[in-house]
Structure formats: C-alpha cells, structure tokens
Structure 1
Amino acid sequence: MESRIQKTLENHAKGYNCAQAVACAYCDLVGMDEQSVFRATEAFGLGMGGMQATCGAVSGAVLLAGLKSSCGDLEAPVSKGKTYQISKKIVEGFQKKNGSTVCKDLKGVETGERLRSCDGCIEDAAALVEQILFAEE
C-alpha cells in the first residue's frame, strides 16, 4: 500500500478534525464510505470533550482497527480479543512516541508545554495505522 500520511494532513487542512483526518484517509481499506466514517468520527475530535480525553488521531486509528479486525458477528462476537490487542499496539506506540494519548496533555493546556502538534499527532497515528493495520497490503 502506498502511504496515505500526506492524505491525512490534506484532510486536516480541509477542516476535518484529527479523528476524521486519519479514519477517512483509510476508510476504503475497511469497506466504508468516507461520508459515513466522517460522520462517525465527528464527535471524537478535540479530544472528546474539549481536549479532556483521548487524542482524536488515536481515536480514528483505533476505529480503523475495529473496522478492519472485527468479525461483525452480532450473535457470536469472538473477535474482540484480537481487536483489543491491535488497538493496544496503536495506543502504546502513540504513547511511546509522544508521552501521552490525552489531547490536553499533548497540547500543553495545563503545563504550557506542548508535546506534539495536531498535524504531528495525525502523522504519528497514520504511521501506526500503516505499520500495524496495513503493513502487508
């Protein structure tokens, strides 16, 4: 697969939030249309509640993990363990690179010390998506 990191940054420059920027760039690879993913990830922007929670870029990446890994079987949902492991790799990789997964910490809201820009977070989350979810594609 050709890298789509630049596409994630273009999405963000168009006004997509961080979650939308990441998830929409790869949505076709998980069988979803862009408008549906755009709508589904809208509430994950700005750290889910005004920078108080998980970075939207990470949320978008984890959403992709679920869409790619879930068996989708409503009667026997047996794929959760695998999906959780993949999501954990993404979250841990992001945490290791940036020192946090919390938007307000990444932006330095309380400390005045910004750990990573939104574009940087988007790049990092997209790189993890490519390395962990779509490395062989």
Structure 2
Amino acid sequence: MKTRVEKTQELHSRGYNCAQAVACAYCDLVGISEDEMFRMTEGYGLGMGCMNGICGAVSGAVTLAGMKNSLGCENPTSKKATYQLSGEILKEFEEKNGSAICRDLKGVDTGRVLRACNDCIRDAAELAEKILFTKEV
C-alpha cells in the first residue's frame, strides 16, 4: 500500500501544525482543498488551548473521519458511525502513546516526554490510513 505518512512529515517541516499536517495530507480523499483544510484545522494545533487538549495530530485524523463519513447536515444520521471511527483512532493512539493529551505527550508537568510531535503525526497518519483509507491511499 502506498502511504502518505512521509508527506505529513514534510508538511510539518514546512510550518503546518500537527493537525494541519495530518489533515492536509489526505484532504483530496475527503473532497476538500488543502487551503480549506489548512484553515479548518489551524485552531487544533498545540493541543487546542496551549497543550491542554487533545493532540493536534489526533484532531487532524478525527477531522478526516468526519469529512469522510458524514452524510452532511441534510441527513444527520451518520454521527454514530463517525463517532465509532473517531473513537477507534483515539483508542489506538492512546494505547500506543499512553495519552492523547498534548500536555501529557510533551511531558509539560512531568518532564517525561511520551512522544515527540513528528512521532505523534506519524502515528495519527498511520491510524487514519488504517482506519479510514485502507484502499484509497
């Protein structure tokens, strides 16, 4: 299977935040332009709220889950399935890294880094590919 994980790393090195790096690497697969996805996910970087929230990379992957699975506001019946996809991404990320909270991952309070940003981005991208895009990447 061809992967886009390395593209996420390249986007991050160009200044995209963690959420943008993951979401923008796959935006064409969910029918949105890179510029629109970049804007949509800008507020998800740095763990939403200066490292107090969910890792931006995970937020980017969950954004992709909604974009891929949602039937839209005219037919709001896809939420349960989207929540399941999002939950699977979050659960697997937490199992691998010990947390999905940016502050914990970066060891802000403990001084013990659980996972670097590039690794979080890689993990979230691999999960997006596995859970959302197994045949499309």
Fold match (TM-score > 0.5): yes
Task: Work out the percentage of aligned pairs sharing the same amino acid.
Answer: 62
Match of 1:62 in 2: 62
In the alignment, the residues of structure 2 paired with residue 75 and residue 123 of structure 1 have an alpha-carbon distance, to the nearest angstrom, of 34
Match of 2:16 in 1: 16
Alignment of 1:113-132 (within 5 A): 113-132=112-131
Match of 1:134 in 2: 133
TM-score (norm: length of structure 2)? 0.97
In the alignment, the residues of structure 1 paired with residue 66 and residue 2 of structure 2 have an alpha-carbon distance, to the nearest angstrom, of 21
In the alignment, the residues of structure 1 paired with residue 102 and residue 95 of structure 2 have an alpha-carbon distance, to the nearest angstrom, of 15
Gaps of 5+ in 2: none
Gaps of 5+ in 1: none
Alignment of 1:1-137 (within 5 A): 2-72=2-72, 74-137=73-136
- Root-mean-square deviation (CA, aligned residues, Å) is 0.8
In the alignment, the residues of structure 2 paired with residue 81 and residue 38 of structure 1 have an alpha-carbon distance, to the nearest angstrom, of 26
Per-residue deviation at 1:2? 1.7
Aligned residues: 136
TM-score (norm: length of structure 1)? 0.97
Identify which range, 75-84 or 126-135, moves more after superposition: 75-84
SS, match of residue 127 in structure 2: helix
Runs of 4+ in 1 over 3 A off after TM superposition: none
